[in-house]
A and B are shown apart, each in its own frame.
Chain A
Amino acid sequence: MTLADSLSRPTRRRRPKRRSQWKGLLYIAPAMVLVIMFFILPVLFTFWMSLHKWPLLGVPRFIGLNNYIRMFSDTRFYSALGFTAYYTVIITIAIFALAFPLAIFVERQRKMVGVYRTAIFMPVVVGLASASLLWVWFANVDSGFLNPLLAWLGIVDLKTNFFASFDSAFFIVCLMVVWKVAGFTMIILLTGLQAIPTELGEAARIDGANRWKRFFYVTLPLMRKTMALSLILSVTGSILAFDQFYIMTAGGPQNKMISVVYYIFNQSFVSFNLGYGAAMSLALLVILVLISIFQLWLLRVGEERA
Chain B
Amino acid sequence: MKFNKLLAAASLVTFCFAAGAAQAETLQMWVRSGIGASFTKLVEAYNASHEDKIQMTEVPFSELVQKYATAIAGGQAPDALSLDLIYNPAFAAADQLEDLTDWAKALPYFSSLSPSHVKLGTYEDKIYGMPLSVETSVFAWNKDLYKKAGLDPDKAPTTWEEISENAKKIRALGDDTYGFYFSGGGCGGCMIFTFMPLTWGAGADILSEDGKTATLDTPEMRKAVDYYREMVKADVVPPGAASDTGTNFLSITNGKIGQQNLGAFAIGTLVTEHPDIHFGVSLIPSVDGKTSSFAGGDNFVITKGSPRADIAKNFLEYAYSLEGQKVMAKYGSLPTRSDIAAEVLKDLDPRMQVGVDAIAVAKTPYTLQFNDLINSANGPWASFTNAAIFGDDVDAAFATAQEEMQSIIDNAQ
Binding site for B on A (CB under 8 A): 55-58, 140-142, 159-161, 163-164, 169, 249-251, 253-255, 258, 262, 266, 269-272
> Given A56-B70, A56-B73, A254-B383, 20 more contacts at CB 8 Å?
A57-B69, A57-B91, A57-B94, A57-B96, A142-B240, A160-B239, A161-B239, A163-B185, A163-B243, A164-B243, A249-B243, A251-B377, A254-B386, A254-B391, A266-B376, A266-B378, A270-B372, A270-B376, A270-B378, A271-B376
22 contacts between A and B (CB under 8 A): A56-B66, A57-B73, A58-B94, A141-B239, A141-B243, A142-B238, A142-B239, A161-B239, A163-B243, A164-B185, A164-B243, A169-B243, A249-B243, A250-B185, A250-B377, A253-B386, A254-B387, A254-B397, A258-B378, A270-B66, A271-B371, A271-B376
Q: Contact check: which of B66, B96, B383 meets A255 at CB < 8 Å? A: B383
- Residue with the highest number of chain A CB atoms closer than 10 Å, among B243, B245, B372, B376: B243
Chain A proximity mask over B111-145: 1 for CB below 8 Å, otherwise 0: 00000000000000000000000000000000000
Instruction: Report yes or no: A255 in contact with B239, Cβ–Cβ below 8 A.
Output: no
Task: Give the contacts of B212-255 with A (CB-CB under 8 A).
Answer: 238-240, 242-243, 245
A255 contacts across to B, CB distance below 8 A: 186, 378, 383
Chain B: minimal CB distance from A245 (Å): 10
Instruction: Report yes or no: B70 in contact with A269, Cβ–Cβ below 8 A.
Output: yes
Please give me the residue from chain A that is nearest to B73 by CB atom: A56
Bound complex: CA of A271 vs CA of B66, how far in Å?
8
Please give me the residue from chain B that is nearest to A268 by CB atom: B66
B91 contacts across to A, CB distance below 8 A: 57
Please give me the residue from chain A that is nearest to B72 by CB atom: A57
Q: Contact check: which of B242, B383, B397 meets A161 at CB < 8 Å? A: B242
Bound complex: CA of A262 vs CA of B378, how far in Å?
10
Q: Contact check: which of A56, A140, A254, A272 meets B240 at CB < 8 Å? A: A140
Bound complex: CA of A272 vs CA of B408, how far in Å?
13
Q: Contact check: which of A57, A161, A266, A272 meets B243 at CB < 8 Å? A: A161
B182 within 8 A of A: no
Chain A proximity mask over B355-374: 1 for CB below 8 Å, otherwise 0: 00000000000000001100
Closest 5 CB pairs of A and B: A163-B243, A164-B242, A57-B94, A161-B239, A269-B66
A142 contacts across to B, CB distance below 8 A: 238-240
Query: What band does the interface of chain B fall in when counting residues whose beta carbon is under 8 Å from A?
Result: 20 to 34
B383 contacts across to A, CB distance below 8 A: 254-255
Chain A: minimal CB distance from B158 (Å): 31
Please give me the residue from chain B that is nearest to A140 by CB atom: B240
* Given contact pairs A58-B94, A270-B378, A251 touches B240 in the complex (Cβ within 8 A): no
Instruction: Report yes or no: B69 in contact with A56, Cβ–Cβ below 8 A.
Output: yes
Task: Give the contacts of B361-412 with A (CB-CB under 8 A).
Answer: 371-372, 376-378, 383, 386-387, 390-391, 397
Chain A proximity mask over B45-71: 1 for CB below 8 Å, otherwise 0: 000000000000000000001100110
Please give me the residue from chain B that is nearest to A262 by CB atom: B378
Bound complex: CA of A269 vs CA of B397, how far in Å?
26
Please give me the residue from chain A that is nearest to B386 by CB atom: A254
Bound complex: CA of A195 vs CA of B391, how far in Å?
53
Chain B: minimal CB distance from A60 (Å): 12
Bound complex: CA of A123 vs CA of B239, how far in Å?
29
Chain A: minimal CB distance from B412 (Å): 9
Bound complex: CA of A161 vs CA of B70, how far in Å?
35
B240 contacts across to A, CB distance below 8 A: 140-142, 161
Chain B: minimal CB distance from A274 (Å): 9
A272 contacts across to B, CB distance below 8 A: 66, 69
Instruction: Report yes or no: A251 in contact with B72, Cβ–Cβ below 8 A.
Output: no
Bound complex: CA of A251 vs CA of B96, how far in Å?
30
Chain A: minimal CB distance from B187 (Å): 9
Bound complex: CA of A254 vs CA of B393, how far in Å?
12
Instruction: Report yes or no: A250 in contact with B94, Cβ–Cβ below 8 A.
Output: no
Chain B: minimal CB distance from A156 (Å): 11
Chain A: minimal CB distance from B84 (Å): 15
Q: Contact check: which of A55, A160, A254, A271 meets B186 at CB < 8 Å? A: A254
B242 contacts across to A, CB distance below 8 A: 161, 163-164, 253
Bound complex: CA of A106 vs CA of B95, how far in Å?
61
Bound complex: CA of A140 vs CA of B238, how far in Å?
12
Bound complex: CA of A266 vs CA of B380, how far in Å?
13
Chain A: minimal CB distance from B255 (Å): 14
Bound complex: CA of A51 vs CA of B260, how far in Å?
48
- Residue with the highest number of chain A CB atoms closer than 10 Å, among B91, B372, B378: B378
B397 contacts across to A, CB distance below 8 A: 254
Instruction: Report yes or no: A164 in contact with B73, Cβ–Cβ below 8 A.
Output: no
A253 contacts across to B, CB distance below 8 A: 185-186, 242-243, 386-387, 390
Chain B: minimal CB distance from A144 (Å): 10
